[in-house]
Structure 1
């Protein structure tokens, strides 16, 4: 039987606890699990049987979350980890190697740009940043050493919408996977796998949890990529010495990436999600569709008000008819353009700083996707490490403020911005 999103966000992956009958998924706060006997232990360690060994690898609470997110995204499997940044490294880990590169959009969260432009160099990897609206430039950037293409469905901070179908056609032609960060959209607004994505990553910290309590990340495997079609991905197609020559793709088929993420990625990188974080996120996902509907409704109302205000230079929200990305909403995000966008002040940098200090309902924090409305001046915080050109390309120019619109009363949010703009702009 096929169930709707609202049903799956509550029930997918979960069963009443067999030991107690508990209806809510318990927090299995345990580091290790008793084997039935020596043969059972050996089968688990040989990947001949699925089960629980040690919570760095697998945990029953986390397993429910993995199944739920994979189901909502339309994927074959998922691996949860400690943060969105961890999810990005975990996604790249089986694909990359010294001298290999990832072709990435210029419109990314500032921390991702830093991770890709600086930190991954220590692994011998590199990133090429390209404007993903320039499809010819994306094609030209892919070379024989490219092992992935990376973008965000709804880009942070500007709320720009990526033409996922066009980008996936390019990555498919090149024989490399497309990785899509779907944090800002969530699977309620966008399902990247349906547009050709191979892998989907999330910072579950944001909208999926929705209440600003815990950090987490997730990698969803579409199960559709042929890892053995070329010799580009030996970690998945060739014998793995640590498992007596087992070939992940040959053995696990559409779940090859998922099993590798647990058996190699979590085993050796240790970027584990703790069971309490998984529990909070499971509870958050139960109301995901309700929250996203209100996020979108409020964002449209606030963005329209800001666009009409003479103190505001421009608003980047794709839900506005004036946005160059408005035409992609119905195609990529048919239920709305999300709750994240930026707006620029005519009085520039100093006015932005005054604005974030003057708000009362909005919280000035380095986060997004909370039930509460949030605001930040990206150029002086999340994108501070970038050059002015990188800031502008990412949508975080000095005169720009990012807002994550919450689920409060929209008129109250507008009134708060109005009084703060009065203090900031005179």
Structure 2
């Protein structure tokens, strides 16, 4: 598309990155189910491998179907480029990979998806990296946690599971002052509700498995680069600013400028880590993105209605939805997320752990699954599942205590969802 910034979100979510297939005229982006691509000649092949020409070499690195999705997501997020990969967890490792080295750390929000907390507190140690967890509402604590070995600050725009709303601009001011990037997981909000790059984020990550695909069919992840960070401003990011031995001393930032991070993610990250998105997954996600704004509007409407009903029910201790006036994040949400605060939140059930388990087992429309962002309404008891590996203190900090359930409100009839919750609560609470 030409002059893309002049188009609205609803147009871009359908058209960005795509055009009719030149060989057949197919209007929908084809699934290019191929491993490799024929070079025009030996000179063409050498130019591709030397990063002197952009093109397709091998589907671990690049694929035409995946490339359309990358361009579309970069456009919707306001970035210069994107790297799609096999899952949201892969996207997080891919996001950190060009930045980190042995002895380096990332400052991470305490309000993160339980799997992310485990990945950051346990798994990344095997790379020689570490994470410092802080309450990102405590800006002084964030500043204090950043040291000479910190290479990024990581947060979620709307945190899973509690639906907490992050002040991205405030964190960006801190990371700008420290000369390090801010990485924002925008999975729960999506670019329709939140644009982290416009609020100062350097990188945006997604589990495309969730709202972007929206139909619970495939897993995927994506890292979007703002193109605004100066990787050569200091010596903290040698992968991007120093000579790269694997490419005969090429300096990514010097050579590719704003696209340095994106090129590194493909030429080094996907080449060596192999966390590749398959073309069929990209195809399903592209189809999902076409209706993103329509679905997110309904998710928000339904979530507000269900959350309001739950808040006024005597069997419920509290509801964490930031779209409720009672939420401590309500004013921030109205300012930063004017279109809505998504479909994800938690609520605490009187009766504790046992009542939560009984509630989950008694629902009929809600599906008990370890996922979110589906068209279907989903529920899970985080303390016994997604956050089970965490300590009780970590569970509480993440908003996943034993008396709490997480819901991802779908696009069904909201009154039906309320009736389903009502009958299940009757069984759970007596």
TM-score band, normalised by the shorter chain?
over 0.9
Aligned residue for 2:203?
Answer: 199
State the alpha-carbon separation in 2 of the partners of residues 151 and 350 from structure 1.
Answer: 31
Aligned to 2:405, the other structure's residue is in SS state strand
State the alpha-carbon separation in 2 of the partners of residues 332 and 181 from structure 1.
Answer: 15
Q: How many residues align?
A: 426
Aligned residue for 1:379?
Answer: 383
TM-score (norm 1): 1.00
- Equivalences for residues 27-426 of structure 1 within 5 A: 27-426=31-430
Aligned to 1:44, the other structure's residue is in SS state helix
Q: How far is the alpha carbon of 1:262 from its aligned partner?
A: 0.1
Q: How far is the alpha carbon of 1:329 from its aligned partner?
A: 1.2
Is 1:17 equivalent to 2:21 in the alignment?
Answer: yes
TM-score (norm 2): 0.99
Q: How far is the alpha carbon of 1:331 from its aligned partner?
A: 2.3
State the alpha-carbon separation in 1 of the partners of residues 316 and 298 from structure 2.
Answer: 24
**Aligned-residue RMSD, C-alpha:** 0.4
Q: How far is the alpha carbon of 1:330 from its aligned partner?
A: 2.2
1:72-92 Cα shifts (integer Å, max 9, x gaps): 000000000000000000000
1:98-156 Cα shifts (integer Å, max 9, x gaps): 00000000000000000000000000000000000100000000000000000000000
Structure 2: segments with no counterpart, 5+ residues: none
Structure 1: segments with no counterpart, 5+ residues: none
1:185-215 Cα shifts (integer Å, max 9, x gaps): 0000000000100000000000000000000
Q: How far is the alpha carbon of 1:333 from its aligned partner?
A: 1.2
Q: How far is the alpha carbon of 1:228 from its aligned partner?
A: 0.1
Moved over 3 A (4+): none
Aligned to 1:265, the other structure's residue is in SS state helix
Q: How far is the alpha carbon of 1:7 from its aligned partner?
A: 0.1
